[in-house]
Each structure stands twice: as structure tokens, then as C-alpha cells.
Amino acid sequence: MLTYAQLKSKPKEFLAATGLYPEEFERLLSAFKEKMGVLSPSPEQTTSGQPRKRRAGAGPKERLQSVEDKLLFIVVYQKTYPLQTMHGLQFGLSQPRTNYWIHQLLPILQQALAAQGMTPERDPKAVGTHPLVSESAPDLLIDGSERRRQRPKDAKKQAEHYSGKKKAHTDKNILLTNSHTMKVVYLSPTESGKKHDKKIADENGMVYPQGATLGKDTGFQGYEPQGVIPFQPKKSPKAKS
């Protein structure tokens, strides 16, 4: 069973599992504990808000005992996005119990990240003034991110979501990242996998800080927002060979 106590002394494994360094996890943990305290029911109520019929702590013991393990559970799920059955195996939980904890903890994680100003902007018009842009110089990277989805039953939706690049049915988002902090500044609405990266970016109409640099790949050829210095990184000769 994966636990915070086991993993915290292994920085490389911790980073691979969570996408966070242990010190970043600790900072997030303080906000997570605060949000859990606000949302936790009183000792006289169950987690669903119903009056208790037996004392707190009675019955089978929960696997995710500590707040640290609860945060580790939901962060690993967000980082790796495994099947619930596989995720449950890592933490000694059944699939139904895994599903329960995902739905309980995900809103708390989102609130904790928002409280620390770590959630990406969703309004394209507010990108230029977002705190994650102003953490350092406005040197940004833009890219499309695709993930597989269940094959739609409807033939029209099948065609919309079929990505020739991935040879699969996918959903797509555009991500804007601060190249210094490597934090996601903007996350676009979800689109079908067939839709071209540049078309999504054009339709979103993101407003950038004046004089910002914008790294992009060939999927954004011709995308040149006003007041921005676009560039396309070159592959090194070693990478080409």
C-alpha cells in the first residue's frame, strides 16, 4: 500500500508519482487541511450529513487514515489518471471505495489549489493579468494536449473526435505555460480531437501581456497574436539524428 510516510523520503519517486517536490506537497497540504476542516461534518454527523447511529470511528477502519495520505491519494490520481481499479490497488482500496474518495477529495483539492493561486486561468481575456504569468518574465509556451476518450456510439461524434495524429478518439485542450516556472497559466475549454490546435487558439482569443514571448510548434503555424513575439524552437542536430 502506498503511503505518504513511505514516499516522503524518496524525492525522485515522490516527484514521479505526484508531479510535486516534497516541499511543494507540504505547502499544498496546509491549504488542503484547512479546506478539509471546513468541509468535514461534526462528530454527530456522517460524511453525508446524516445523524450518526453509532459513535465516530466505529465499524471497519478506513485505509486513508491521515490527511497526508488523502492528499497523496488524490494528487497521484490527478497526475497519473489510472483506472479506478488500478488506483485502488496502490492504496489498498476496492474500486467502489476508490470512486467514493475521488469524488470526496477532488473538490477539496481544487479549492486548496485555488486558495494558493495555483489554478490555471479559464477566461482567455484575463490571461495577461493572471498571477501565474507575473511570477516571472512573460515568456510563454503554447501547445495542444490530447487524451483518449471512449469511442462515441454516434457516427458523427466518432468523426469529430477521431484524431489522425493519435489514431484514436480523443478530447483536446490548449495549454499555456510559463516557461520559467513550468506552471500552466491557461487551460482552454475541451474540444474534439479532430479540431486543429491553431483553430482552437484563434477561437479562444487569448489576451497576452504586451511584449510577451510565445514559443509554439508547427501546430500553431501562422498564430501570431498582436503585441506578442512568437518563435518556433529549433531541434538540435542531435535530436534530428
Residue with cell 483518449: 148
So what's the pLDDT on residue 199? 95
- Residue 18, pLDDT score: 93
Q: Is the pLDDT of residue 44 over 70?
A: no
Q: What is the pLDDT of residues 160-210, one digit of tens each?
A: 899 988 888 999 999 999 999 888 999 999 999 999 999 999 999 999 999
What average pLDDT score do residues 140-150 get?
A: 91
Instruction: Look at residue 240 and tell me whether its pLDDT is greater than 80.
Output: no
Q: Chain centroid to CA 54: how far?
A: 38
The set of cell numbers assigned to 161 is 473526435
DSSP sequence for 55-106 = -TT-SSPPS--SHHHHHHHHHHHHHH---HHHHHHHHT--HHHHHHHHHHHH
Q: So what's the pLDDT on residue 178?
A: 92
What global pTM score does this model have? 0.72
Question: What b/e readout covers 43-60, taking b as 16+ CB neighbours within 10 angstroms?
Answer: eeeeeeeeeeeeeeeeee
Q: How far apart are CA 170 and CA 150, in angstroms?
A: 8
For residues 118 and 176, what is the distance between their CA atoms, to the nearest angstrom? 14
What average pLDDT does the segment 64-90 reach? 93
Average pLDDT for 212-220: 93
Q: Which pLDDT belongs to residue 54?
A: 66
Asked if 232 and 217 count as a contact pair (C-beta separation under 8 A), the reply is yes
Q: What value does the mean pLDDT take over residues 71-94? A: 94
43: its cell numbers:
462528530
Give percent of the chain above pLDDT 70.
89
Given this model, what pLDDT does residue 39 score? 57
Are residues 166 and 148 in contact, defined by beta-carbon separation less than 8 angstroms? Answer: yes
